[in-house]
Structure 1
Amino acid sequence: MTVKTVVFHALETGPALTVLGAVHGNERCGPEAIRRLIGDVEDGTVALSRGSLQLMPVVNPKAYAQNVRFVERNLNRQLYPKDEKVHYEDHLDPIVCGLLDRTDVLLDLHSFASPGGPFIFLSGKNPDELAYAKSLGVSDFVYGWAEAYGGGDSKESQGTTEYARTRGALAVTLECGQHLNADAADVGYRAILMALAHFDMLEPSCPAASGLGQPAAVADLRCVRMKSVFYRDEGASFCKPWRHFDAVAKGEAIARYANGEKLVAPEDGFIVLPKEAAATGGEWFYFGTATAYPE
């Protein structure tokens, strides 16, 4: 099994923008968006004015073929080259990291299981990265990913964006919506074009540049800061069918453990990415609070 990378070079120097799809094999919108873009570059609908565009439509090909999140290990955690390769995904690490080593800007396209629309994960530390994220046409933001795991720079929580930032790149993860949202691939495709335009890499005269539209208005932006991650205990269940970005009040019951004890919200906040079907011990949901960031 091989991993395919497509690279387009403009004749004028500029940044290297990398777009990844299917880091998780059951998230199909990324490959669809990237393959559409490849076709549009090849037929001239999209034209680069400068820099290079590095596209990896399917980062985890075996998981993609099986339509599963991962085969042996979540590729978007513990992402770094390993001396001893134990899991299948360990063999993908040096390929992905090698590409990210040659990257100035990363856009990683994902989707999620719970009902909801698109949003962007942010680092909350780099104003240039914030400006880039805000240019992608999405109005909802989440930040504090690594901090929610209890260790800002821990390699346990290091995924594509975290690794890319260690190499000096600007990096965002775009969650294009629920896996089955009809417009998820369209969200990803438009974000790629918006990223190219933001970095002056999109030829203004090309057909794709016309009608691209503007980023979301500042007044429409909203952001949640992640505070903690919760893992599912055996027999635990949600108290209601939560949706992504559902608001919860302090003391409100979120879930019930097998012994009847309730898990309640520690403060007013939001449920982020609830997974009704999470396996025992798996990431179940995240809890966050409203913040004025990104403004």
Structure 2
Amino acid sequence: MTDKPKVEAPAVSQRPTHLHTHTFHGLAPGPKLLVLGAVHGNEVCGAKAITQLLQDIDSGQLNIERGSVTFVPVTNPLAHQLQLRIGDRNLNRNMAPSAIPQDFEDRIANVLCPLLDAHDVLLDLHSFHTGGAPFVMIGPQDNSGTLEPFTHAEAEMRLAVCTGAPRIVEGWLDTYARGVSRRAAAPTATGTARAQTLVTNPNYGVGTTEYMRSRGGYGVTLECGQHDDPQAVQVARRAILQTLALLDMASVPPEPVPADREILRLVDVTDREHAGDSFSREWRSFDAVKAGELIGVRHSGFQVKAPHDGFVVFPNPRAEPGQEWFYMARRRP
């Protein structure tokens, strides 16, 4: 399979100068919820669902009664303006304030990180390249380790379940850390020095939810469906409403949760090394593979095979060299 021709980014006449947020305060005490859309600019289902719900609030169809909720329909306005995943870089990596911001995403993070600090719970709405069912990503079990210490695993699992996603995925940060370690040991000779510095930074696996956990809160990333699937908007809308119900912030009736849920753990990540690397077929997230099954072929002719029985996750046929090509997952025991 060959990649599609690279699409040139639309011209930008003026870079965005602000981040647009909408906050509603209930008149009774309660938690502080943050809902993000379009952290990646071409993942618009969350932005569309948030826009619908803002209209419902303005019309009185939905009332925030307890706590407060802040909606950010478009979290990366430059990437959204470009209709691309990123602006200058991936906003959902290396999430941290910058004393000396070097790119647009650094400047957004300088606004977004204090916003995350000010909230208790995060729902981050995304979509994915290839087909497949929605899934939700959670953090680690409660632990006091050095990589991602955490004390809200039970609450986070309740949040994940209420989104209605039939599949729950864990193991992001430690899997990403292994990928960073490999990149640092054998850097790809492509991209700018800035790009190489980012992808080999141990903090590069930290996105919105990881930052939220590091600040004492909890949150999930909901992958609502394929980018262009209109049903992804409804998945995002339902998740927001059910989160408000779970947190008792609005008079929204709770819906039944899936009886059968699959929990998978990410165990490894494989980078694309060359623009000529190609998949053996059009993989979708969570396609099952057997040990030794062909997944892709390197530009050199080297065959990339599944190291064990499991599932292909986040296959990205247009990944830049040195970036994540696909992940492998296994069922949680």
What is the TM-score normalised by the length of structure 1? 0.93
Q: Which residue of 1 is the match for residue 136 of structure 2?
A: 120
Q: Within the alignment, does 1:230 sit opposite 2:270 as a pair?
A: yes
- 2:54 is paired with a residue whose SS is helix
- 2:66 is paired with a residue whose SS is coil
Q: Which residue of 2 is the match for residue 181 of structure 1?
A: 229
Contact 1:109 1:173 in 2 (8 A): yes
Q: Which residue of 1 is the match for residue 52 of structure 2?
A: 36
Q: Within the alignment, does 1:197 sit opposite 2:239 as a pair?
A: no
CA shift at 1:279, angstroms?
Answer: 2.3
Following the alignment from structure 1 to structure 2, what is the Cα–Cα distance between the partners of residues 124 and 78?
A: 18
Contact 2:209 2:221 in 1 (8 A): yes
What CA deviation, in whole Å up to 9, does each residue of 1:20-74 have, x standing for no partner? Answer: 0111111111110111111111111111221001111111111111101111110
The 5-angstrom pairing of residues 56-67 of structure 1 reads 56-67=72-83
CA shift at 1:213, angstroms?
Answer: 2.4
Following the alignment from structure 2 to structure 1, what is the Cα–Cα distance between the partners of residues 298 and 210?
A: 33
What CA deviation, in whole Å up to 9, does each residue of 1:257-276 have, x standing for no partner? Answer: 12222111111100001112
Q: Which residue of 2 is the match for residue 85 of structure 1?
A: 101
More deviation, 122-131/240-249: 122-131
Contact 1:276 1:284 in 2 (8 A): yes
Q: Which residue of 1 is the match for residue 291 of structure 2?
A: 250
Q: Which residue of 1 is the match for residue 175 of structure 2?
A: 148
Q: Within the alignment, does 1:16 sit opposite 2:56 as a pair?
A: no
Match of 1:267 among 303, 308, 326: 308
**Structure 1 unaligned residues grouped into runs of 5+:** 204-208
Q: Which residue of 2 is the match for residue 55 of structure 1?
A: 71
Following the alignment from structure 1 to structure 2, what is the Cα–Cα distance between the partners of residues 101 and 252?
A: 44
- 1:14 is paired with a residue whose SS is strand
Following the alignment from structure 1 to structure 2, what is the Cα–Cα distance between the partners of residues 50 and 42?
A: 17
CA shift at 1:93, angstroms?
Answer: 0.7
**Structure 2 unaligned residues grouped into runs of 5+:** 1-16, 142-152, 181-200
What is the TM-score normalised by the length of structure 2? 0.82
Output the amino acid matched with 2:233. Answer: A
- 2:285 is paired with a residue whose SS is coil
Contact 1:118 1:175 in 2 (8 A): yes
Q: Within the alignment, does 1:157 sit opposite 2:205 as a pair?
A: yes
Match of 1:221 among 261, 273, 283: 261
Q: Which residue of 2 is the match for residue 206 of structure 1?
A: none
Contact 2:295 2:305 in 1 (8 A): yes
What CA deviation, in whole Å up to 9, does each residue of 1:186-241 have, x standing for no partner? Answer: 100110000011111112xxxxx35x622222xx1012110111111212111121
Following the alignment from structure 2 to structure 1, what is the Cα–Cα distance between the partners of residues 202 and 297?
A: 30
Q: Which residue of 2 is the match for residue 240 of structure 1?
A: 281
Match of 1:135 among 158, 162, 169: 162
Output the amino acid matched with 2:131. Answer: P
Following the alignment from structure 2 to structure 1, what is the Cα–Cα distance between the partners of residues 26 and 19?
A: 23
CA RMSD in angstroms, aligned pairs only: 1.5
Q: Identity over aligned residues, as a percent?
A: 42
Contact 1:124 1:130 in 2 (8 A): no
Contact 1:249 1:265 in 2 (8 A): yes
Following the alignment from structure 2 to structure 1, what is the Cα–Cα distance between the partners of residues 176 and 79?
A: 25
CA shift at 1:154, angstroms?
Answer: 4.0
- 2:327 is paired with a residue whose SS is strand
- 1:227 is paired with a residue whose SS is strand
Following the alignment from structure 1 to structure 2, what is the Cα–Cα distance between the partners of residues 33 and 72?
A: 26
Following the alignment from structure 1 to structure 2, what is the Cα–Cα distance between the partners of residues 154 and 122?
A: 20
